[in-house]
Amino acid sequence: MTSSPTLSRALGAFWWLLTTVVVGAFGLMLLVMAIQVIARYALGVAVPWTDEVSRYLFLAEIFLGSVLALRYQEHIRITVVTDLLPAGAQRWAAVAADAISILVLLMIMGGAFNMMERTAGIFASTFDMSFSYLYLMQLVAAGLMALLLVEDLVVRLRGKPPNLPDEPKE
């Protein structure tokens, strides 16, 4: 749906960066958890920050990874009922699903913003990071998913199936 090559390149760079962040969060989480296990069972020492850091990295993976899953239409879908519908009704069911999903994401964004305000002065117990960053990640992810769904909704309302983006380059 992009028209200019510059915009297309910028979006490509954005999706590459987001993928890199998600994969990086996963790799860091594995590293931190390995440190935690080795320190606890091999060295007999508890490293308190590893539990919180691995939890935050896991949340980053979930929220930002869900944006990538939506972009590539890889979220789980139950289509038993919609598969029985004629093509036109399937399209309108998809339009309704997109619209409902956008509304839910807008509510999530509102809740995340509210929680950002409430937790701005609350910090992690083992290192200096405000809890509001966790809700910022949720807000950003919900916003990106809403934008993707708006794009799909516009394409569907024009009577076309949504385009799948090119597969990520390895």
Is there a contact between 46 and 40 (Cβ–Cβ < 8 Å)? Answer: yes
| Beta bridge partner(s), residue 123 | 130
List all residues 6 or more positions away from 107 whose beta carbon is below 8 Å from its beta carbon.
none
Q: What is the pLDDT of residue 160?
A: 76
Q: 22: part of which helix (H) or strand (E)?
A: helix 5-37
Q: What is the pTM of this model?
A: 0.84
- The pLDDT confidence band at residue 167, using thresholds 50, 70 and 90, is low
pLDDT digits (tens, 9 = 90+) for 145-162: 999 999 999 998 888 777
**Does 1 have pLDDT greater than 70?**
no
pLDDT at 107: 98
Q: How confident is the model at residue 79 (pLDDT cuts 50, 70, 90)?
A: confident
Q: What is the mean pLDDT of the chain?
A: 90
- Does residue 170 register a pLDDT over 50? no
Q: How far apart are the first and last CA of the chain?
A: 23
Name the residue ranges covered by the structural domains of the chain: 5-157
pLDDT digits (tens, 9 = 90+) for 16-53: 999 999 999 999 999 999 999 999 898 889 888 999 99
